[in-house]
């Protein structure tokens, strides 16, 4: 028998809360349709690509006094992309709703991500199987993967596997790219009269899959609380030793929501926000000068210590770096098959080849970087063919450049302090944590709700649960058309439909909270120490959600 920790034993017993509409029974629901929708941008192009699934209404559920019988359905589920706390509960909620609707229903989990539905690798869930994973972190129940579902051959193979298992609906749990694939698959199934529905669930700890209907992506709550605990621990250490500057890079490539939320929970001395850097067109030098100025001022106060939080994707938002990386992304595909590059015997030779291929201005930027960073820019591509920003040690680049700047200031007699930097990267630490009570409830509701959408015959929808700062009983369950969130973007040199990423709004209440306090936090040690996620105790400790969601919902409610 597998040995479990005391916490895991107790978490397995936890019964997640549901919105009252869903809690009263999956077969006692009424569907309420809103007005037709359109995509956020590029309406004509998106409509042309999704002729069969475009323009559907947002839907919500309410209780009905009538109880309807549910036909027997087999459903498949896929975990796609990086892990996020709560994924297991989405599957548990889906399974419970499916079995509640009709005990003859079956749920199949495709193994290893989207490749599972293509290759026909699956497992059938049972009560015993599911019960071992309730309220736990990770995606190990069936594994995940980053295979893209976008080609005719992949769609055809997926159809054959679904027919073999008599599957009439597929649920894809993933982020913006994964749910873009869900939209493409849904459209293909309708176009080809396959009789198979596709429903998505909004997952990403980065927090960049959200809009008015999707208030938060699952996993963000748990991950940011985990990172905030770690930052708080380091702040306590820094405030005790009083001799180290800690540079903490934190997950979030395309948006800075994680860094911003962690900063609001801990109040560090410096917080960089990528979107602000881009809007203000801050150069790498100006960022270094900003950080160095705070370090010198604190040193002059006798404080040779501090905390700097840096978003993972910062380097891509610095205008000259963004231009250079975009240029690099364009040329790397050809370089990876170029004999002169492939057969280069030294890294210096590769640097020279790259510089000769880059546009002159971008080559100058590339040449100015330390060898460590230049090498990291040439590392393996991600599935989209882009630089893997997480492998670029931005925190070490900033430390090296700040050290050089401080040496220059010291030589002029304007700085006599000590600079002892420590670097950290918090990424994997937050992806598979035990889900918070909020994420346990939210994810279970998303899964349960996904089956409600299936039960009403819908396809091309994203499971939506809203009003999330209210008690769970008051949450609003429903669905939003995937095409409603889409626009056209350039990928691999081609314009493709993708779900639009939600970036930090610099005029929004969340960033304004940081902006109003950052000068005070820079000089005065207002450190907060959140501590570990709490699962048992008063609701004000255990069920409280993120600062981001609270601030955004407060603004939303104020505008009503």
Task: Render each residue's pLDDT in the chain as its tens digit; 560 residues.
Answer: 578 899 999 999 999 999 999 999 999 999 999 999 999 999 999 999 999 999 999 999 998 877 777 889 999 999 999 999 999 999 999 999 999 999 999 999 999 999 999 999 999 999 999 999 999 999 999 999 999 998 999 999 999 999 999 999 999 999 999 999 999 999 999 999 999 999 999 999 999 999 989 999 999 999 999 999 999 999 999 999 999 999 999 999 889 999 999 999 999 999 999 999 999 999 999 999 999 999 999 999 999 999 999 999 999 899 999 899 889 988 887 887 889 998 888 999 999 999 999 999 999 999 888 888 888 888 867 666 677 776 789 999 999 999 999 999 998 887 889 999 999 999 999 999 999 999 999 999 999 999 999 999 999 999 999 999 999 999 999 999 999 999 999 877 789 999 999 999 999 999 999 999 999 999 999 999 999 999 999 998 999 999 999 999 997 766 64
CA proximity to 463, closest of 106, 179, 195: 179
CATH number at residue 270: 3.40.50.460
Whether residue 483 sits in one domain with residue 469:
yes
Catalytic residue chosen out of the listed positions 96, 206, 439, 525: 206
**Within a domain: residue 134?**
yes
Q: Is residue 542 part of a domain?
A: no
Q: Is there a domain that residue 543 lies in? A: no
| Neighbour order of strands in the sheet with 306-311 | 270-271, 306-311, 245-250, 421-426
Q: What digits encode the pLDDT tens for the residues 285-306?
A: 999 999 999 999 999 999 999 9
Q: Are residues 294 and 419 in the same domain?
A: yes
Cα–Cα distance for residue pair 260/246, rounded to 1 Å: 17
CB contact at 8 A, 261 and 371: no
For residues 530 and 393, membership in a common domain is answered with yes
Residues 210 and 237 in one domain: no
Contact 162, 68 (CB under 8 A): no
**Within this chain, do residues 121 and 144 fall inside the same structural domain, yes or no?**
yes
What's the burial of 274, exposed, middle or buried (CB within 10 Å: 0-12/13-18/19+)? buried
Specify whether 338 is catalytic.
no
Whether residue 276 is contained in a domain is answered as yes
Give a three-class secondary structure readout of 230-243. HHHHHHHHHHHHCC
Q: Provide the residue range defining the domain that includes 232.
A: 220-431+508-536
Residues 320 and 446 in one domain: no
In a domain, 300, yes or no: yes
Considering the domain architecture, whether residues 448 and 532 belong to the same structural domain is answered as no
Q: 421 and 397, same structural domain?
A: yes
* Dist CA 7 CA 136 (whole Å): 10
Sort strands 486-491 and 494-499 into parallel, antiparallel or unpaired. Answer: antiparallel
- Residue 44 burial (10 A CB sphere; 0-12, 13-18, 19+): exposed
Taking the C-alpha atoms of residue 541 and residue 543, their distance in angstroms, rounded to an integer, is: 6
Question: Tens digit of pLDDT for each residue in 514-552?
Answer: 999 999 999 999 999 999 999 999 998 999 999 999 999
**H helices, E strands: number in the chain:** 23, 15
484 found inside a domain: yes
Asked if residue 320 and residue 206 are part of one domain, the reply reads no
Residues 80 and 202 reside in one and the same domain: yes
Distance CA 149, CA 350 (A): 34
Question: Is there a single domain that holds both residue 485 and residue 512?
Answer: no
Q: Write down the pTM of the prediction.
A: 0.93
Question: What is the domain count for the chain?
Answer: 2
* Inside any domain, residue 326: yes
Torsion of CA 544, 549, 550, 552, to 10 degrees: 180
| Tokens at 510, concatenated | 């969340």
pLDDT, residue 325, reads 87
In a domain, 496, yes or no: no
CATH of the domain at 474: 3.40.50.450
Residues 328, 397 share a domain: yes
C-alpha–C-alpha distance, residues 523 and 60, integer Å = 48
């Amino acid at each position: 028998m597998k040995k479990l920790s005391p916490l895991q034993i107790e978490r397995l017993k936890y019964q997640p809360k549901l919105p009252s509409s869903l809690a009263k029974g999956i077969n006692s629901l009424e569907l309420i349709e809103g007005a037709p929708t359109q995509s956020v941008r590029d309406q004509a192009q998106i409509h042309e690509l999704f002729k069969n699934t475009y323009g559907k209404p947002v839907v919500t559920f309410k209780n009905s006094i009538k109880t309807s019988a549910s036909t027997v359905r087999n459903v498949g589920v896929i975990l796609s992309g990086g892990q996020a706390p709560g994924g297991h509960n989405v599957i548990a909620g889906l399974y419970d709703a499916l079995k509640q609707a009709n005990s003859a229903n079956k749920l199949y989990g495709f193994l290893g991500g989207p490749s599972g539905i293509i290759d026909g690798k699956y497992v059938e869930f049972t009560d015993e199987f599911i019960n071992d994973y309730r309220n736990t972190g990770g995606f190990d129940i069936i594994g995940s993967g980053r295979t893209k579902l976008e080609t005719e051959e992949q769609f055809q193979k997926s159809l054959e596997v679904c027919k073999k298992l008599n599957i009439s609906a597929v649920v894809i749990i993933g982020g913006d790219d994964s749910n873009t694939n869900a939209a493409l698959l849904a459209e293909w199934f309708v176009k080809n009269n396959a009789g198979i529905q596709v429903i998505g669930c909004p997952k990403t700890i980065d927090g960049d899959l959200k809009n008015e209907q999707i208030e938060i992506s699952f996993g963000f709550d748990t991950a940011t609380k985990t990172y905030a605990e770690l930052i708080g621990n380091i702040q306590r250490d820094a405030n005790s030793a009083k001799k180290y500057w800690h540079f903490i890079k934190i997950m979030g490539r395309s948006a800075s929501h994680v860094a911003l939320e962690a900063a609001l929970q801990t109040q560090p001395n410096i917080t960089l926000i990528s979107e602000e850097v881009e809007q203000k067109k801050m150069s790498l030098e100006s960022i270094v000068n900003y950080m160095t100025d705070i370090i010198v001022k604190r040193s002059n106060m006798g404080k040779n210590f501090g905390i700097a939080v840096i978003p993972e994707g910062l380097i891509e938002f610095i205008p000259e770096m963004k231009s250079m990386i975009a240029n690099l992304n364009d040329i790397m595909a050809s370089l990876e098959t170029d004999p002169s590059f492939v057969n280069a015997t030294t890294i210096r030779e590769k640097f020279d080849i790259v510089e000769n291929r880059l546009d002159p201005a971008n080559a100058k930027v590339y040449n100015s970087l330390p060898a460590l960073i230049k090498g990291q820019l040439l590392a393996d591509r991600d599935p989209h063919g882009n630089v893997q920003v997480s492998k670029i040690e931005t925190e070490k680049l900033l430390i090296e450049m700040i050290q050089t700047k401080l040496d220059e200031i010291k030589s002029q007699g304007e700085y006599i302090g000590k600079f002892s930097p420590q670097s950290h990267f918090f990424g994997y630490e937050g992806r598979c944590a035990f889900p918070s009570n909020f994420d346990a409830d939210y994810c279970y509701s998303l899964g349960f709700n996904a089956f409600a959408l299936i039960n009403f015959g819908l396809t091309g929808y994203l499971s939506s649960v809203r009003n999330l700062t209210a008690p769970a009983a008051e949450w609003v369950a429903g669905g939003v058309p995937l095409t409603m969130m889409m626009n056209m973007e350039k990928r691999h040199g081609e314009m493709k439909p993708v779900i639009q990423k939600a970036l930090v709004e610099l005029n929004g209440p969340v960033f304004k909270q940081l902006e109003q306090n950052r000068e005070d936090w820079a000089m005065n040690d207002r450190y907060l120490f959140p501590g570990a996620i709490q699962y048992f105790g008063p609701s004000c400790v255990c069920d409280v959600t993120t600062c981001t969601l609270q601030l955004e919902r407060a603004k939303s409610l104020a505008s009503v």
